[in-house]
Structure 1
Amino acid sequence: MLFYFAKRLSASALILVGVTIVTFCLTFLIPADPVAMIAGRNSTPEMREQIRIQLGLDKPLIQQYAAYAQRLAQGDFGISYARKSEVGPLIASRLPATLLLMLGAIIAELLIGIPAGLYAAARRGQTGDKVAMTLSFLTVSTPQFVLGLSLLYFFAYLLGWFPLSGYGSLSHLILPAVTLGLAGGGWYSRMMRSSMIEILRQDYIRTARAKGMSEKRVMLVHGLRNAILPIIAMIGLDVGIFMSGVVVVENVFGWPGIGQLMWQAIQSLDIPIIMGITTVAALFIVAGNLLADLVAPLIDPRIRLR
Structure 2
Amino acid sequence: MDYVLRRLAAALPVLFGITVLAFLLIHLMPGDPAQIILFGSNSTPEQIAGLRQQLGLNDSLPRQYLDFLGQLLHGNLGTSYLTQNSVAHELLSRAPSTLVLTFSALAVAIVIGVPLGLAAGVRPNSSLDRLCRGFSFLGVAIPYFFLALVLVLFFSVKLQWLPAIDDGTVSSLIIPAVSLGWGYSAILTRLIRGKIIQEYRSDYVKAARAHGASESRVLMRHALRNSSIPAITTIGLQFGNILTGAAITEVIFGRAGIGSFLATSITSKNIPVVQGAVVLIGGGYVVINLIIDLIVGAVDPRTRLATAVA
What TM-score, normalized to structure 2? 0.91
Secondary structure at the aligned position of 1:174 is classed as helix
Which residue does 2:24 correspond to in 1? 25
1-structure distance, mates of 2:269, 2:137 = 35
C-alpha separation in 2, matches of 1:145 and 1:83: 31
User: How much has 1:220 moved relative to structure 2?
Assistant: 3.0
Task: Tell me what 2:270 maps to.
Answer: 270
Q: Aligned-pair distance for 1:247?
A: 1.9
1:239-254 counterparts in 2 under 5 A?
239-254=239-254
For 1:289 and 1:197, the matched residues in 2 are separated by 27
1:34 and 1:212 map into 2 onto residues whose CA distance is 72
Say how many residue pairs are matched.
305
Q: Does the Cα contact within 8 Å between 1:235 and 1:288 map onto a contact in 2?
A: no
Which range moved further: 54-63 or 154-163?
A: 154-163
In 2, Cα distance between the equivalents of 1:268 and 1:9? 35
Other-structure match for 2:128? 128
2:34 counterpart of 1:35:
yes
Q: CA deviation at 1:194?
A: 1.7
Distance 1:169 1:298 in 2: 38
Question: Which secondary structure does the structure 2 equivalent of 1:245 belong to?
Answer: helix
Partner letter of residue 73 of structure 1? L
Q: Which residue of 1 aligns with 2:218?
A: 218
Paired AA for residue 255 in structure 2: W
Structure 1 residues 98-155: Cα deviation after superposition (integer angstroms, max 9, x where no partner): 1111111111101111112122222323443233222212222222221112222222
Q: Where do residues 149-298 of structure 1 align in structure 2 (5 Å cutoff)?
A: 149-298=149-298
Alignment of 1:33-112 (within 5 A): 33-40=32-39, 42-112=42-112
SS in 1 for 2:120: helix
Describe the superposition over 1:54-108 as per-residue Cα deviations: whole angstroms up to 9, x where unpaired: 1111111000000011111112111222333221100000011111111111111
Question: Deviation string for 1:184-232 (max 9, x for gaps)?
Answer: 1111111112222222221111112223333343223321111121121
Alignment-mate amino acid for residue 253 of structure 1: F
SS in 1 for 2:304: coil
Contact 1:167 1:256 (C-alpha < 8 Å) held by counterparts: no
CA distance in 1, matches of 2:141, 2:111: 19
Indicate if the aligned counterparts of 2:165 and 2:254 stay in contact, CA closer than 8 A: yes
- The CA distance in 1 between the partners of 2:216 and 2:138, in whole Å, is 28
Partner AA of 1:46 in structure 2? E
Match of 2:6 in 1: 7
Q: Deviations over 1:263-282 (max 9, x none)?
A: 11122222211111111112
Q: Structure 1 74/6 Cα, relative in aligned 2: closer, same or farther at 3 Å?
A: same
Structure 2 Cα separation of the partners of residues 88 and 169 of structure 1: 26
Q: RMSD between aligned alpha carbons?
A: 2.0
Q: Tell me the amino acid that sits aligned with residue 187 of structure 1.
A: I
Contact 1:79 1:272 in 2 (8 A): yes
Q: What letter matches 1:118 in structure 2?
A: L
Moved more, 59-68 or 194-203: 194-203
CA 1:174–1:299 in structure 2 vs 1: closer, same or farther (change >3 Å)?
farther
Displacement of 1:301: 4.8
Change (3 A) 1:133 1:83: farther
Higher relative contact order, chain-length normalized (CA < 8 Å, sep 6+): 2
Contact 2:78 2:86 in 1 (8 A): yes
Is residue 2:299 matched to residue 1:299? yes
The runs of 4+ residues in structure 1 deviating greater than 6 Å are none
Unaligned runs of 5+ in 2: none
CA contact (8 A) 1:118 1:196 kept: yes
Which deviates the most, 228-237 or 108-117?
A: 228-237
Residues of 1 paired with 2:47 and 2:136: CA distance? 55
Give percent identity, aligned residues only.
38
Deviates more, 1:89-98 or 1:76-85: 76-85
